[in-house]
Amino acid sequence: AFAESICASSIIVKRRRSMRYSRIVGTGGYLPEKVLTNHDLERMVDTSDEWIRSRTGITQRHIAADHELASDLALHASRKAMEAAGIKAEEIDLIIVATTTPDMIFPSTACILQDKLGAGNCPAFDVQAVCSGFVYALATADMFIRAGRCRNALVVGSEVYSRILDWSDRSTCVLFGDGAGAVVLSQSDRPGILSSHLHADGKHSKILAVPGSICDGKVQGKPFLIMEGNTVFKFAVKVLEEVVHEALAENNLQASDIDWLIPHQANIRIIQSTAKKLGMPMEKVVVTVDKHGNTSAASIPLALDAAVRDGRIKSGQHVLMEGVGGGFTWGAVLLRW
């Protein structure tokens, strides 16, 4: 009888463990007020609206005001996500901010955000995985929740790329924009996040980088974004196809089971290529790159927020998020809404 009761209780423990999932219970987004159109850029560098639209799908992007930092953008997006979730600052017990453009070298933008939110004494840290940052941060928060280490995580992607662009370099400055997106991820007894898949390969670190650093009070190297556009394009298309298939296979799902693809919004041609390889019509793909440009770690949560708020994403649907960025890093998160 003793052995039986041990067995029974271990089954209960297993069941309890297996019933612990994470779910997104609120989303929020914030875009700075100032809009920079392709026509504005025509007056700044030798480019054209036609070139930018045909190569990237971008028509405009938002630019942070001089006084706005990544933590300020993050604060706006977080408040909206927390309001949607019905969660107060003191109920947040983990903050992860994905950013490549932090307020300062340290403290982390997550700690600064925690203070601005009045969120109290919970773990807070930044994730640096460039445009895959939000996928990395969401996967990390999911693991904290499933391990029983927190109940309500605030996961944010926030970027002010306008600060790390060389505004005289037409091959890069037309591509990016500023913004922030946030989600509240809470413990739940039903999924939620079904699986997450993270990858990195540092061999490709030089094809997309901001290679500058600070030493002895001086900037060493180039503090602006540099990119081998064509190499990045080919690499992105290849690894995104691999990672979306990895996510589908792990969950025994077909591409046709996915209701919404929420890709990192780098370039409409990369997005279309992934959709085509999945055999997915563009009607099932959430696209914001036309209006936001590439907002790096903010792009996926901004696109998610748009599709949640306009009612496209409905309860029970399968949502697949995927991203790729400098490092190189890439990953996907598959969830049931």
Residues belonging to the active site: 131, 264, 294
- Binding mask 258-297 toward ligand COA (x if CB under 6 A, else -) reads --------xx--x-----------------------x---
Of residues 82-141, those binding ligand COA (CB under 6 A): 131
Residues contacting residue 36 through CB under 8 Å, at least 6 positions apart? 60, 61, 62, 63, 177
8 Å CB contact between 323 and 134: yes
Contact region for ligand COA (CB under 6 A) — 44-52, 86-94, 278-286, 301-309? 44-52
Q: How far apart are the C-alpha atoms of 56 and 96, rounded to whole Å?
A: 30
Q: How far apart are the C-alpha atoms of 69 and 219, rounded to whole Å?
A: 20
Residue 205 CB, nearest approach to ligand COA (Å): 13
Residue 147 CB, nearest approach to ligand COA (Å): 30
The answer to whether 55 contacts ligand COA (rule: CB under 6 A) is yes
Q: Which of 157, 145, 264, 139 is nearest to 199 (CA)?
A: 139
Residue 180 CB, nearest approach to ligand COA (Å): 17
Q: How far apart are the C-alpha atoms of 127 and 147, rounded to whole Å?
A: 19
Q: How far apart are the C-alpha atoms of 279 and 295, rounded to whole Å?
A: 26
State the amino acid at position 331 in one-letter form: G
Residue 58 CB, nearest approach to ligand COA (Å): 9
Residues contacting residue 299 through CB under 8 Å, at least 6 positions apart? 131, 134, 157, 179, 181, 264, 265, 266, 288, 289, 292, 323
- Binding mask 210-249 toward ligand COA (x if CB under 6 A, else -) reads -----------------x-xx-xx--x-------------
Indicate the DSSP class of residue 108: -
Q: Which of 182, 129, 151 is nearest to 23 (CA)?
A: 151
Residue 111 or 239 having the CB closest to ligand COA: 239
Contact region for ligand COA (CB under 6 A) — 50-58, 75-83, 95-103, 133-141? 50-58
Residue 80 or 204 having the CB closest to ligand COA: 204
The answer to whether 51 contacts ligand COA (rule: CB under 6 A) is yes
- The residue nearest ligand COA at its CB is 229
Residue 230 or 315 having the CB closest to ligand COA: 230
Residue 201 CB, nearest approach to ligand COA (Å): 14
Indicate the DSSP class of residue 43: T
**Which positions touch ligand COA (CB under 6 A)?**
47, 51-52, 55-56, 131, 170-171, 174, 227, 229-230, 232-233, 236, 266-267, 270, 294, 324-325
